[in-house]
Structure 1
Amino acid sequence: MTEPLRRSSYDGTTEGYAPKFKPRVIELIRQQLEKEAPQRTDSIGGEKPYVLDLPELQVIGWQNLNQAGEPYADIWGHVFGEFDIDSKFDSIPSKVQSSGCYLGIFEGRDSVPKLWEQSAWDTGYFLGVEVGDPGTVPEGLVHKDYPASKYAIFIAKGVPAAAFQSTWDYIHQEWLPSGEFKFNEAGVFFINYTEKSGPDDERFEAHLCVPVVEK
């Protein structure tokens, strides 16, 4: 990903995560990160993940396909320009997430994609927000459900491309080979963008949520 999701004035608080409905996937992730963060000293390039059992994920969002069924060459230019996805997401009354905290979902994968490569975003990419109840789906968006799974949650920090690559290297070269888990193909890999995921610089931070099962 080479473009920011949207610029935000992050003030160091977690109020942007406050759910409007019962706590679900996003709230469970936030609670676990807050609980363990003071005890953590590891950083990018060797950061052990948080392992959580997460419930079914319900989202409303946008699939990266044009009318011809092909991915957009300039995905971020389209969704935050002509399509104005911020406005569409803000109009969803049942969304659990606040504006700016979106989910990037990668469907049909058997491993964590190489997110620093453009091709990773061309097939099965879905940008959405978690909802408590699908209700009315705005024009141009669709509702999807993803199954419950155990997840290993890695924190990618820094300039996006470098952060994604460093985290991918750690997941595939160290954590999965030496650990008790493997990628769960029945689940879905997703990025939990936070309010720190705006500027395309060293302040970027996102959670890479990897579905796993015991080997």
Structure 2
Amino acid sequence: MNFKIVEKDEIILVGKEIRTSNEDKNCRIEIEKLWKEFLEQKLGDSIQNKINSGEILGLYTDYENKEFGTYSFIVGYEVSDAAAVPEGMVLKVIPPSKYCVITAKGKMPESIGETWKYIWNADIQRIYTGDFELYDKRYDGSENSEVDIYVAVK
């Protein structure tokens, strides 16, 4: 798979959170359920100070034991100011980082899962401060959708 290395400044994210684990057989179902709730209930509408309302992030953070333990998964928006966090949502601050960016292409969510399997088995020196999927205008639900996965690296 092709990738690129980029550096990003601190990211302030506001969104809805769950705790899960890749070892949990219901992990994928719980993440999909969170996405459905976020989108169908239009939870993002209550988030103020969005940097880009056309980009939703799926953030993996607060890792207990790298990809083997529990972690937080948050669906939300990057914001410029964290003054107001809607009830039932959380604020996460991801430090400035260097990222390996890999683009998942094709039918979703299958392509996302295949790309994560590649990441877990690749020789990438991850730092587990916060990894995220970026859903923008290239994600349209078609067989040609694209999602960038940002993996924090040394």
Matched, 1:160 2:108: yes
- Gapped runs of 5+ residues in structure 2? 20-26
Conserved 8 A contact 2:14-2:85 = yes
* Structure 2 residue aligned with 1:5: none
Provide Cα deviations, 1:163-203, integer angstroms capped at 9, x if missing partner: 124323443444x2xxxx50113x2111111122231x312
Rounded to whole Å, the distance in 1 between the matches of 2:110 and 2:43 is: 26
Seq. identity, %: 24
Rounded to whole Å, the distance in 2 between the matches of 1:129 and 1:164 is: 19
Matched, 1:192 2:113: no
How big is the shift at 1:123? 4.7
Matched, 1:207 2:148: yes
**Aligned-residue CA RMSD in angstroms?**
2.7
Rounded to whole Å, the distance in 1 between the matches of 2:10 and 2:83 is: 17
How big is the shift at 1:53? 1.6
How big is the shift at 1:210? 0.4
Number of residue pairs the alignment of both structures matches: 142
Q: Which has the higher helix share?
A: 1
Q: Which has the higher strand share?
A: 2
One-letter amino acid of the structure 2 residue matched with residue 149 of structure 1: S
Which structure: larger Rg?
1
Provide Cα deviations, 1:9-41, integer angstroms capped at 9, x if missing partner: xxxxxxxxxxxxxxxxxxxxxxxxxxxxxxxxx
TM-score, normalisation: structure 2: 0.76
2:53 to 75, 79, 98: 98
- Gapped runs of 5+ residues in structure 1? 1-45, 66-70, 114-119
How big is the shift at 1:55? 1.4
One-letter amino acid of the structure 1 residue matched with residue 51 of structure 2: V
